[in-house]
Structure 1
Amino acid sequence: MVDTSRHPEPATIGQLRDSGHRARSVKAEIRDNLVAALRSGRNPFPGIVGFDDTVLPDVQRALLAGHDFVLLGERGQGKTRLMRTVVGLLDEWSPVVAGCEIHDDPFEPICSRCRALVASDGDDVAIGWRHRDDRYTEKLATPDTSVGDLVGDVDPTKVAEGRTLGDPETIHYGLLPRANRGVFALNELPDLAERIQVALFNVLEERDIQVRGYAVRLPLDVLVVASANPEDYTNRGRIITPLKDRFGAEVRTHYLDDVDEEVALITQEAHLVAAVPAHVLEVIARLVMELRGSSSVDQRSGVSARFAIAAAEGTAASALRRAALTGEDDPVARIGDLADVLPSLRGKVEFEMGEEGREVEVVGHLLRLATAATFRDRVGGSDLLGFTAHFEDGSTVETGDLVPAATLLEQLGTIPGLAHVLDRVGVDEESVSPGQVAAAVEFVLEGLHLTRRLSKVEADGQTIYGS
């Protein structure tokens, strides 16, 4: 929570003037703060992963140029998250005329009420302070959004009070005027009806608004940022050409193409209720990349980062469920938990028409590819004879979503070379626990199966590995 009591001291326009405050437009304010951040080496877009060399330079150029811009990309590429970080480039506090609906600059008011107030009271006009978090306005564009929602409309209550229709005070301001001297973000812009998109022309070009033909000019000071999915996917609408032309820049976003970056994003965004080992997160990251490259998946819709985040959260929840039912004190997710969770995530992926009824099979196949790749990367070349020797006499190992870590480890006994495997999968030797050891062991058993060194039978929630 922001402590709104810790704002600067000036309480009137006169005191603000005496303090040496210098008025700047929103875009100049963002430009100055972005330049300062770049010069100091501070990250101006915290929490944005994998865009450092691609998307962010384009966004920085757009902001430095003072351009409104559109972020164009498939779902789950972080467009909304990126838009929300822009507000961090505003000054922490901004002075406004106290009581103004559109947050007028005390030195340059634009609404009739504030102009009259300054004309009559001058430097004695009271000011307030607005935190930068309150200067961000976000609207999800929907087909039923009206011009009144965005720009404004006549307020019948004010008319009923006796004011004439020609009085500017009868206007009820929409979201855009109320975002004056801030950032206005419009999500899913193509979903906005074309006739409503026309209402944005004046805002983006002339920087003013018109309400029902009123002779009202409000030169708004606002940065407009929008997001959109590619038109060839949504088919629900489009950004009309004249509106496209009024945006200063179109920035293309993309999915991450590096496993480590995908893991970093999952780690940052997922709320995990149990421990999920690094090798399991890596399998999830590789699975998402396999889905994004699969011919069985509709690539026009993309595979959102939310799939990976939900998979990690579901896998952790599976481990917590096992602990609750079996009495484990140390819930740690295993590779089998991920396999159990994936069927519930089918709704996050759109498959090609010919794959109807095969969704679980497709995802399962890609999971095996991701697991095998992670196994080769993490454990490839290691001496695993200590594991395979256990099965030489026909012994088996049973695991499953309700098999506790202790039960799994008891079946194997002492395993030569286990310490090396734990190191390769990223388990800290000083904080190792039975749950982490069991997760590593199950991962190795599954890897040995996928490389055709162990057999596997699955039935009734149980998995049996054998020679």
Structure 2
Amino acid sequence: MTIGLPKTAGELRAAGYVPRSVKVELRDNLVAALREKRNPWPGIVGFERTVLPQLERAILAGHDVVLLGERGQGKTRLLRTLVGLLDEWTPVIEGAELNEHPLDPITPESQRRAEELGDDLPVAWKHRDERFSEKLATPDTSVGDLVGDVDPVKVAQGRSLGDPETIHYGLLPRSHRGIIAVNELPDLAERIQVSLLNVMEERDIQIRGYTLRLPLDVLLVATANPEDYTNRGRIITPLKDRFGAEIRTHYPLEIAAEVDLVRQEADLVAEVGDHLLEVIARFVRHLRESSAIDQRSGVSARFPVAAAETVAASALRRSALIGENPAIARPVDLESVPEVLRGKLEFEAGEEGREQEVLTHLLRRSIADTARARFAGLNLRQLAELVSDGHPVATGERVHAGDLLAALPELPLLHEVAQRVGAGPKDPAGRIASAVELALEALYLTRQLSKDSDDDRSVYG
């Protein structure tokens, strides 16, 4: 809230406010967060030991930054968290076109007002969220969009063309004393990238030959895909040279980090256990290592998020069809992932027609890996013998969790299986059935059980 904050330039000066550049402001606030052991990057997962230390050094050095990485690595999300390092409220000249500090005006109009009004110059306060601007670089972006152009309306009002006040400012000047993020920078036409050179080095702008020098105070951050340097465009060499830091991002390096990311980002309409999220995380890991997938395009972090949401939706649909409450996902719901999400992947040219086969194989491999990790040291042979000796177990989208469990006699082994995935004896049947089904699928994948499937039902025997 701005109650009690200075309302005029005189009050601001009396309160001891001193203009600070945006880079100094970010540096001071980052240093304070690090000293107080506060996390300056809320919601960022998997970059703690790699990307974040590099970004922190760049901010402390006062560098403009370009983040380089494949799609879906959280580049834009990371840039948006920079807002949290700005002061919550900052003073600006009330009514000014740009975010000028009341004690340091930069446009001719604001300088004139400051001279006329003196200490009575009115002050407004801007929240840090209003000091972050974002532009998706597209081929049709113009210099006028970024820097500015002559405003014909102001000329029609009687001002001469040589008057600097006839200019309509673009996004960069309007980001004065803030952060501007340019997404997919190589997509900007090269002649448009040239317009950024002065902003980044001399910190001023030039518009249609005007002798206008605005000492802009901005932090320019950008994202780029390595593929873009050769396929769709490139960052021109002089512009690359003006970025103080080029930081490579990456996909989560650990399975646990991928699971944490999915748990944080996914909007799940049903309960999805960590063991199923682990399957999805391993599935994505195998996709990123597969020679069948075009790794230049990458496998976005949005893929496992969408996969988890699809699994939850499948569980909710099954719950509605058979009246199973609460809705809890089981391994059978993983079967919906390849069919629904294969369009999010780019396959190599020689893989036409094999997409479903590749995805199904990698998903089964992920289930087996997860079961091996979860049930390590646990002998599942007793369960295999039980099912083989006349206790077949059915599963499917129309099979109730209670029916799945009822097909098996009470065994201490089943309690141990449930415990390995975090389910207890008093938990809902769906949670225990999910653990048992994972064990049955593992036995099938290791060829200790058979599985006969039709449209909506599979029987282990």
* TM, length-normalised to structure 2: 0.97
For 1:69 and 1:325, locate their aligned partners in 2 and report how far apart those are by CA, in whole Å: 52
Indicate conservation of the 8 Å contact 1:387/1:416, yes or no.
Answer: no
Distance in 1 separating the partners of 2:42 and 2:173: 28
State whether structure 2 residue 148 is matched by structure 1 residue 160.
no
Instruction: Tell me the SS of whatever aligns to 2:453.
Output: strand
Partner of 2:257: 261
Structure 1 residue ranges, 4+ long, deviating more than 6 angstroms after superposition: none
1:234 is displaced (CA, Å) by 6.5
- How far has the Cα of 1:8 moved from its partner? 5.0
Tell me, yes or no, if structure 1 residue 59 matches structure 2 residue 55: yes
The alignment status of 1:382 with 2:378, answered yes or no, reads: yes
Work out the CA distance in 2 between the residues paired with 1:8 and 1:361. Answer: 66
Question: What's the offset of the Cα at 1:23?
Answer: 1.4
Q: Secondary structure at the match of 1:256?
A: coil
Counterpart position of 2:304: 308
Match of 1:230 in 2: 226
Q: Which residue identity does 1:440 align to in structure 2?
A: A
Distance 2:395 2:255 in 1: 28
The more displaced of 114-123 and 403-412 is 403-412
| Count, aligned residues | 461
Q: Which residue pairs with 1:117 in the alignment? A: 113
Distance 1:273 1:242 in 2: 49
How big is the shift at 1:7?
Answer: 5.3
| Separation (CA, whole Å) in 2 of partners of 1:182 and 1:136 | 6
Residue 315 to residue 65, structure 1, CA distance change in 2 (3 Å): same
**Aligned twin of 2:457:** 462
Pick from 390, 403, 424: which aligns with 2:420?
A: 424
Q: Distance in 1 between matches of 2:409 and 2:223?
A: 55
Matches within 5 A, 1:16-415: 16-231=12-227, 235-415=231-411
Segment drifting more, 341-350 vs 21-30: 341-350
Q: Give the conservation status (yes or no) of the 8 Å contact 2:186–2:228.
A: no
Equivalent residue number for residue 435 of structure 2 = 440
Of 337-346 and 273-282, the range deviating more from structure 2: 337-346
Inter-partner Cα distance in structure 2 for 1:101 and 1:213: 21
**How far apart are the structure 2 equivalents of 1:352 and 1:294?**
10
One-letter code of the match for 1:118? A
Displacement of 1:442 in angstroms is: 1.1
Secondary structure, aligned partner of 2:209: coil
Shift of 1:414: 2.3
Q: Secondary structure at the residue paired with 2:412?
A: coil
Q: Which moved further from structure 2: 331-340 or 377-386?
A: 377-386
Output the amino acid matched with 2:271.
Answer: A
Gaps of 5+ in 2: none
Structure 2 residue identity aligned to 1:126: P
User: Sequence identity of aligned pairs in percent?
Assistant: 62
Q: CA deviation at 1:415?
A: 3.4
The two structures have a TM-score, normalised by structure 1, of 0.96
Measured on the aligned residues, the alpha-carbon RMSD in Å equals: 1.4
Give, as a single letter, the amino acid of the residue that structure 2 aligns with 1:282: E
**1:158 Cα deviation (Å)?**
1.4
1:98–1:127 contact (8 Å) kept in structure 2: yes
Conserved 8 A contact 1:149-1:175: yes
Structure 1 unaligned residues grouped into runs of 5+: none
Paired with 1:13 and 1:203, the residues of 2 have a C-alpha distance of 28
Structure 2 CA distance, aligned partners of 1:306 and 1:68? 27
Shift of 1:33: 0.6
SS of the aligned residue for 1:29 comes to helix
Deviations 1:431-452 (A, max 9, x none): 6111101111111111111111
Report the Cα distance in structure 1 between the residues aligned to 2:381 and 2:210, rounded to whole angstroms: 83
Query: Residues 36-70 of structure 1, C-alpha deviation per residue, up to 9 Å, x if partnerless?
Result: 11111111111111111111111011100000010
CA contact (8 A) 1:386 1:415 kept: no
Q: Is the 8 A contact 1:12 1:123 kept in 2?
A: yes
**What is the rounded CA distance, in whole Å, between the counterparts of 2:434 and 2:187 in structure 1?**
45
Q: Letter of the aligned partner of 1:83 in structure 2?
A: L
Deviations 1:339-395 (CA, angstroms, capped at 9, x unpaired) = 212211112111111111111110111111111111000012213244223323244
SS of 2:30's equivalent?
helix
Letter of the 1:442 counterpart: E
1:462 Cα deviation (Å)? 1.8
Deviation at 1:457, TM superposition (A): 2.1
Contact 1:233–1:300 at 8 Å: present in 2 too? no
For the residue of structure 2 that corresponds to 1:412, the secondary structure is: coil
Q: CA deviation at 1:402?
A: 2.6
Task: Give me the whole-angstrom Cα distance separating, in 2, the residues matched to 1:62 and 1:202.
Answer: 20
Per-residue deviation, 1:233: 7.4
CA distance in 2, matches of 1:27, 1:88: 13
Report Cα offsets for 1:151-209 as digits up to 9, x if no partner: 11111111122222112221111111111100000000011111100010011000011
**Cα 1:78–1:107, aligned 2, differ >3 Å: closer, same or farther?**
same
Q: Which amino acid aligns with 1:447?
A: A
